[in-house]
Amino acid sequence: MSKCPKCGKEIGNQLFCDACGTRMTQQTVAADAPLPGRKCPKCGANAGEGKFCERCGARLDTQPPVPPQPGSAYRPPSQAPGAVPPPYPPQNHPPFTQAQQPKKKSAVPIVITIAAVVALLAVAAIVLIFVLKPGSSDDTAPNAAGTVSTAASAADGTVPSAAAATAPTTATQPTTAAALKMPAVKNQKLTDAKKQLESFGVTIVEKYEFSDTVPKDSVISQSVAEGATLHKGDTVTLTISKGSNVSPYDYQQKLTVTAAAGSSFGTAVLYEWKNGDWSPVATYNAAVGANGIGAASEGSSLSPQGVHKMGAVLTAQSFSTNMNVYKVNSNTCVVDDSGSALYNQIMDKGSVPSGTHYDNIGKGLTDGSTNAMIYIEHNGSGFSSNNVVPGKGSAIGIRGRTGSLTGTYGDVDISASDMVDLLSRLDAGKNPMIELKTN
């Protein structure tokens, strides 16, 4: 066996020393013979089985050995005829082992894992079916048929198996709203209709229109037909009457005077017809007959109960008003003799027949105690005998009085300043009335 001339290590019949890489010149290798072993990383030649390439001397420690190919004619020097073969593989190299192929993984564990997951999901789906029973508080919505779907994802994001998702279920989630039917609320008061519909959990939209047939604040129509199915959250539009845009009366203004039965004091409220109803405009303190409001007659000291037309304004002053004004003087009077053909007529006292009794109203209208008097036509207009009933009452009006108010013979008294305000608001074109009633 040869020794390395440099380090003295016994190296057999190799071209290079395994220890130091020194070339052994006494060995030769045929140039055209393929060298078994590893590929040289430097020159790419078959570099033999040592630690160094037998052609260029590059270190081969990191290259795996390449087994000799079957049928190769190559013979290393140690195997030449008559040569003593060295031990193979060399003792300073690990024995050659053929590269092992990676073992194929078994599919059994994967199948077992998938089966376990499917089983767990099936159990979860069954639990959901029992948990999501009618009356539960979960957020799962019933499908169109009213049944609860099990194909929805679970709370943790997993999806039930195909079998669980398609399995039919008898669990239902009935709702109260599904059984509700739209009631008939037409012609009902709005308050009653709203109370009924709000109990169903529906949203109500109000729309207003004038109507000559449906009373104010009652339902003209409903957007959902009677008997139609309602659900919670549905919207129902109700068309509400604003009343008639035209007054049902032949007047658009009225002064409503109210007092307790037998009382000579009350309030006077001026109303105008607006948006289908009477709207208050102004309110005044008032005094009425000393015996209150009732069926007036001559000398009864009762203000005439009922609705009466406001006639001419009798005054000696000038007012800003749209009423008809009749100028008076100290001789203006009203005949209060129920036996006279001139009963309850306004005239000059010089024209009153001798022996006929009269009320000298002009004195009070000129001495400053009364600034104006609106004639109440409860017994004729005051300027003719038409519709005059003897003994029903005479010379009764709305008076603007200075000083404190007291019970009257049948007149309605307000303060002089309130009379100025009242006359500024009244309009003869709206045919104003006075309404006298007890409360």
> Do 409 and 291 fall within a single domain?
yes
Does residue 172 fall inside a structural domain?
no
**What is the rounded CA–CA span in Å between residue 257 and residue 436?**
5
**What is the rounded CA–CA span in Å between residue 240 and residue 248?**
18
Res 144 pLDDT > 50: no
How far, in whole angstroms, is CA 150 from its chain's centroid? 32
Contact call for residues 220 and 189 (beta carbons, < 8 A): no
> Do 286 and 420 fall within a single domain?
yes
Q: Which residue range is the domain that position 211 belongs to?
A: 177-241
Does residue 246 fall inside a structural domain?
no
> Do 358 and 394 fall within a single domain?
yes
Res 248 pLDDT > 90: no
CATH number of the domain within which 235 lies: 3.30.10.20
Phi, then psi, of 35 in degrees rounded to 5: -90, 125
For residues 42 and 223, the model is more confident at 223
SS3 119: helix
DSSP letters, 163-225, are: HHHHS----B---SGGGEE----TTSBHHHHHHHHHTTT-EEEEEEE--SSSPTTBEEEESS-
**What is the rounded CA–CA span in Å between residue 317 and residue 328?**
9
> Do 397 and 298 fall within a single domain?
yes
Does residue 194 fall inside a structural domain?
yes
**What is the rounded CA–CA span in Å between residue 150 and residue 165?**
5
Does residue 171 fall inside a structural domain?
no
- Can you read off the two tokens belonging to residue 426? 């009244």
> Do 287 and 185 fall within a single domain?
no
Res 280 pLDDT > 80: yes
> Do 290 and 425 fall within a single domain?
yes
Give pLDDT, residue 72.
45
Does residue 248 fall inside a structural domain?
no
Res 359 pLDDT > 80: yes
Pair type for strands 397-401 and 412-415: parallel
Contact call for residues 260 and 289 (beta carbons, < 8 A): no
- Can you read off the two tokens belonging to residue 304? 């005439």
> Do 188 and 265 fall within a single domain?
no
Among 227, 207, 231, residue whose Cα is nearest residue 219:
207
For residues 357 and 90, the model is more confident at 357
> Do 275 and 353 fall within a single domain?
yes
Res 177 pLDDT > 90: no
**What is the rounded CA–CA span in Å between residue 197 and residue 177?**
12
pLDDT band at 392; cut points 50, 70, 90: very high
> Do 310 and 433 fall within a single domain?
yes
Does residue 108 fall inside a structural domain?
no
238-263 average pLDDT score: 87
Last residue of a domain, one of 201, 219, 241: 241
Contact call for residues 152 and 166 (beta carbons, < 8 A): no
Count the helix, strand and coil residues of the chain and give each as a percent rounded to the nearest 5: 15, 25, 60
> Do 200 and 298 fall within a single domain?
no
Give pLDDT, residue 156.
46
State how many domains the chain has: 4
**What is the rounded CA–CA span in Å between residue 321 and residue 430?**
13
> Do 418 and 278 fall within a single domain?
yes
Does residue 107 fall inside a structural domain?
no
> Do 221 and 342 fall within a single domain?
no
- Can you read off the two tokens belonging to residue 335? 């005949």
Among 372, 396, 214, 414, residue whose Cα is nearest residue 306:
396
Does residue 105 fall inside a structural domain?
no
**What is the rounded CA–CA span in Å between residue 221 and residue 185?**
8
Last residue of a domain, one of 215, 241, 267: 241
Q: Given the structure tokens 């009153």, which residue do they identify?
A: 352
Contact call for residues 312 and 341 (beta carbons, < 8 A): no
